[in-house]
Structure 1
């Protein structure tokens, strides 16, 4: 039997993956302790596992004997979406709580999960610190960078999985593969040249959609009307479109939708030129572009109506002026949906802050994806019970791990390291278990 602990448990995605791997191999298992600080996540965990996780890992006084440690420790300190403060962020220091537990209890192995930014944060020094700390405790460490889209889950989500084994480096047959860079690349590349094509099917967004979604997830009548007008009634044009005011490309903007007032074609063209050109390096290196002077604007807009267009856009508040410099008034946070998924490709990465504003067009009707569809994008089985509060469910699923990836990682780890794992007294197995694995 494998006795394991589930730290920073969230809603139990890592636990589900490990248990699924054990079930496939015929290995008995038991979770002897779970820990999660978020109260609503604990409610969801209790709904599905019949146990309420203990709270803050730093407050736990007693930990039962265990063989294996699971920990999806906080990723915000290392995430590209965050400030990347690493160990300078209090949450970043929670890795050292894992280190203390491993040192005190000497488990046979562990699986840690985090964002891909962990490997590059602070020039790689943060990652080196973590591996060095684990090595000094007597563990061989291997890591994999894997994309959920390679594991029959239609989501572009690259995460790092660190696997440790007491006394030696783990043997693994899985190889790192960051998959397609985005949904467009996924459609272009398909499964050609993919390391995982012989093992897994490849789902797309349309495969995880509910047959009927509650009307509460449909876009409002006003927003639907704006969208329909902007795309000329061709709803397929929304597939893969991002609604954002400070980027161009395959995007719709507030001035395209007429959110603050109808814009003429000339005004829309001006705004699109502005957001494209304000990102030029010759105008500065600000991430999303800088404010431009009238002289700078005249280097890419040559028509004589410039003054009247600027006055009109200032009046409608699509444009703002400060100190003689002009920039768009970005309103992307006001959109009901910030990204419409392409049903024939994969989803962008789910996040806790934006999962509730991902959209899809079904039968010419734009709507938000449902919590259950978010769960399917993370590979949670349909029998998994979601939190009844939609806001909590979206947030929890955005923070969750992708269950099938954890399952495959653990299958590979257990199959290729079982003889070493089984040397410890706590891992002695019945003949049935040994025969199933070998």
Structure 2
């Protein structure tokens, strides 16, 4: 096996969006952790182990002893966002459940990141979460995270809210937290952002497009360009969504469906997309609008067509809705890479 430029561990890995980005800048994954069996199926289909690989796959990170984690240069973690997201907080409040760090199952997973960093002392880390993390609980949640990473662990921490709309036609704001063990001049201001942002037609199925072999005609007919009719909303559902939107407009709020056509961008793809697809509906002149297909969702998140979708549509919608905009993370990985390879740093903190 060829030794790559640096190694990383992929925690809360989902379907591997962050891994795809860091492998793209010549990083080597030495450990993955993901507890969801369906996400793991997608992950392992797309990242099969090489013969003789020493890669480790763990399930529940809470059951992994920090000392057993392989040595690595970078820790990557898109830790669960539901305890901090606007939608997640609203749902938990409605159910009378705790959120943020008070959530007994998801909110404390950040501290599993802490104990691994404390034990293994990687050169760097990248953490990803929803934009709302910074304002959750009036900023107290984020202050705990910042204080933990900077004061307790001694890392130089940089944060930036990045919108994936610069790389794919989707309005998707996420906070990226990058930390280095040593001071090295890293600045988010140096992030390379594409000059021309794509529009939704860039990800939609079109007549004559190359056939994706592993899709096997699952989503659309490449000869006619027709998307499978099962993605078109039924008359009953379309009437319901229009009535729902009208009701909320009358009440003075913005709830409703998001209809897109060529030249536009989309709302944020969420894990609930499988329910009715209301946040992103594709206009079909002369017909009811339709949902995106899972392949179009993959493209909206920046996954290449070589990425295999081995699960049902429902599972795929959840998985892509929970993933990252791959090219946006790739740009951050590009920015981090020279600092990972530079052994001549200015100073070292002692935690």
Report the secondary structure of 1:133's partner residue. helix
CA contact (8 A) 1:141 1:169 kept: no
Rounded to whole Å, the distance in 1 between the matches of 2:262 and 2:87 is 25
Structure 1: runs of 5 or more not aligned: 23-28, 177-194, 228-237, 249-271, 280-286, 289-331, 333-337, 424-438
Deviations 1:73-108 (A, max 9, x none): 011111111117211112111000000000011111
Question: Taking structure 1 as reference, are residues 389 and 133 closer, same or farther at Cα in structure 2, changes over 3 Å only?
Answer: same
After TM superposition, list the pairs within 5 Å mapping 1:27-42 onto structure 2. Answer: 29-42=27-40
Q: How does 1:44-83 map to 2 (within 5 A)?
A: 44-51=42-49, 53-61=57-65, 62-83=68-89
SS at match of 1:83: helix
Distance 1:175 1:2, change over 3 A: closer
2: distance between equivalents of 1:78 and 1:220? 34
Partner in structure 2 of residue 12 of structure 1 = 16
**Conserved in 1, the CA contact under 8 Å of 2:182 and 2:345?**
no
Q: 2: distance between equivalents of 1:57 and 1:87? A: 17
Q: Does 1:217 align with 2:217?
A: no
Is 1:344 the counterpart of 2:267? The answer is no
Counterpart pick for 1:86 among 91, 94, 100: 100
TM-score normalized by the length of structure 2:
0.78
Cα offset, 1:31, TM superposition: 0.9
TM-aligned CA deviation for residue 200 of structure 1: 3.2
What is the rounded CA distance, in whole Å, between the counterparts of 1:207 and 1:243 in structure 2? 30
CA RMSD of aligned residues (A): 2.8
1:17-166 matches, cutoff 5 A: 17-22=21-26, 29-51=27-49, 53-61=57-65, 62-83=68-89, 85-90=99-104, 91-135=106-150, 136-151=152-167, 153-166=168-181
State the secondary structure of the residue aligned to 2:336.
helix
- The 1-side partners of 2:270 and 2:185 are apart by 31
1:277-426 matched pairs, under 5 angstroms: 338-354=257-273, 357=277, 358-365=280-287, 366-415=289-338, 418-420=341-343
User: Alpha-carbon deviation of 1:156?
Assistant: 0.3
SS at match of 2:305: coil
User: Residue 362 and residue 415 in structure 1: after superposition, are their counterparts in 2 closer, same or farther (change >3 A)?
Assistant: farther
Q: Which residue of 2 aligns with 1:258?
A: none
Question: In 2, Cα distance between the equivalents of 1:380 and 1:170?
Answer: 30
Cα distance between partner residues in 2 of 1:65 and 1:361:
50
Judged with a 3 Å threshold, the aligned counterparts in structure 2 of structure 1 residues 247 and 175 are, in CA distance, closer, same or farther, namely farther
Structure 1 residues 345 and 401, CA gap change in structure 2 (3 angstroms)? same
TM-superposed CA distance for 1:19, in Å, is: 1.2
Q: Is the 8 A contact 1:8 1:35 kept in 2?
A: yes
Q: Secondary structure at 2:283's aligned position in 1?
A: strand
Larger Rg: 1
Q: Is the 8 A contact 2:13 2:32 kept in 1?
A: yes
In structure 1, what is the Cα distance between the partners aligned to 2:38 and 2:174?
24
Q: What SS class does the counterpart of residue 174 from structure 1 fall into?
A: helix
Q: Which runs of 4+ in 1 moved over 6 A?
A: none
Cα pair 2:11 2:34 within 8 Å, conserved: yes
Query: Helix, strand or coil for the counterpart of 2:270?
Result: coil
Give me the whole-angstrom Cα distance separating, in 2, the residues matched to 1:405 and 1:137: 27
Using the TM superposition, give the Cα deviation of residue 419 of structure 1 relative to its aligned residue in structure 2, in angstroms. 1.8
Match of 1:253 in 2: none
The verdict on how the C-alpha distance between 1:96 and 1:142 changes in structure 2, with shifts beyond 3 A counting, is same
Q: How many pairs align?
A: 301
Secondary structure of 1:164 counterpart:
strand
TM-score (norm: length of structure 1)? 0.63
Output the CA distance in 1 between the equivalents of 2:260 and 2:160: 27
- Note the C-alpha offset of 1:416: 5.1
Matches of 1:242 and 1:145 in 2, distance apart?
35
Tell me the secondary structure at the aligned position of residue 230 of structure 2. helix
